[in-house]
Structure formats: structure tokens, C-alpha cells
Amino acid sequence: MKRIGLFGGSFDPVHTGHLLVACAAREERQLDRLYFIPAAQSPFKPESQLAPAADRLCLLRLALAGLPWCEVDDQEIRRGGISYTIDTLKDYVRRFPDAEISYLIGADHVPKLPQWRQASELARLATFLVITRPGEPETPLPPPFRGHRLSGFPFGVSASQIRSRVKAGLPIQYLTPPQVAEAIYNKGLYL
């Protein structure tokens, strides 16, 4: 059975922590393929102003270059509006009916899972792989959700920290892949 991972989020910008999570998910859950799916707009952060979608996609493609087991899926951006995980998950179940599908989620989002659109359907269709940042408490998945906690490579960086550092004129080397940092500066993002 093919094992597929889905990694949704704003990726504003993609950073080394995202890539370490991808590696941990692949190794620990033996994923055959991992799809990074940037959101058009989060239902839980409707007021947030994201970098332009084209720029976020460009940064993701730069970060994933050379990782043949990873792919960028822009379906949520193409759909536009608020991005609901259930819509994307149903698309993957339709496209890969015989695959085991896992959805990567930050531990900070676990308590909100019951509030996600069509939560019981989400729980039925996917196994959830939980990523905990250093210093975060371990939160069990609420029923009926099932999944696994990734031990991974703890890395306490966030996209908001990177945006703040860029705005303050501080370096972001080692926090993002070099080609991503270069593109952020060249495009004048997050200033």
C-alpha cells in the first residue's frame, strides 16, 4: 500500500523546521511521497495577510528542489478563498483510493481539530502525524482522530520569527535553505 503524506500550511515562508518535519515523517512513517500544500487562506486566521501566493510557491519549490519524494501541490491556492483541509483530503482520497493518507499537523493545532470543517470525516479519512515544537506540551489527539507523534528533529523556529527577523534586518541564514533566504531578500518579502 502506498503511503502518502500531506503537509498543509501557509508556508509564509517555508523554513528549515518544515523540511526537518518532512524528513522525520518520511523516515518514521515510511512515506512514499509527501505533498506540501500551501493554503490560500487559513479559516483560523482570516485576518492574516500572507505574502503573495506566487512568492510562497516559488520559495517552496526552491526549498524542495532535489527532494524527489516531495512535491508542491497548489490546489488550495488555485481554489482561492478559505482553504479547508477536508476539500483537499477528499481530492487525495479520490486520486489515490488505495493509499494510506497521513496529514501532518503541528501540536498547537491538535486541540482545535474538533472545530475543523467536517471533523469526523477528516478523522475517518486520514491518520494525523503530530509535530511538537521544543517546549510544547504533548497533547493527545481528541477522539475520533487517530495518529502518531513524530519524534523528528526538534527545531524551535517559526515563520513569524523569520518574518520578524527579515523586517528587523537580522539574518535568517540556517533558518531557511540558502536559496529561500536569497529569494526572500531578492523579492523584498517581509519588509
pLDDT per residue over 158-175, tens digit each? 999 999 999 999 999 999
Mean pLDDT throughout 53-79? 97
DSSP conformation class of 173: B
Supply the pLDDT for residue 46. 74
User: Does 122 have pLDDT greater than 80?
Assistant: yes
pLDDT per residue over 17-62, tens digit each? 999 999 999 999 999 999 999 999 988 877 788 999 999 999 999 9
Mean pLDDT throughout 127-149? 91
Reported confidence tier of residue 133, pLDDT bands at 50, 70, 90: confident
Q: How far apart are CA 148 and CA 102, in angstroms?
A: 10
Structural domains in the chain, CATH included, are 3-155 (3.40.50.620)
Supply the pLDDT for residue 155. 76
User: Does 96 have pLDDT greater than 80?
Assistant: yes
Could you tell me if residue 80 is left (phi over 0), alpha (psi between -120 and 50 degrees) or otherwise beta?
Answer: left
Average pLDDT for the chain: 94
Which contacts qualify for 171-178: CB closer than 8 Å, 24 or more apart?
174/16, 175/15, 175/16, 176/13, 176/14, 176/15, 176/16, 176/63, 177/16, 177/19, 177/62, 177/63
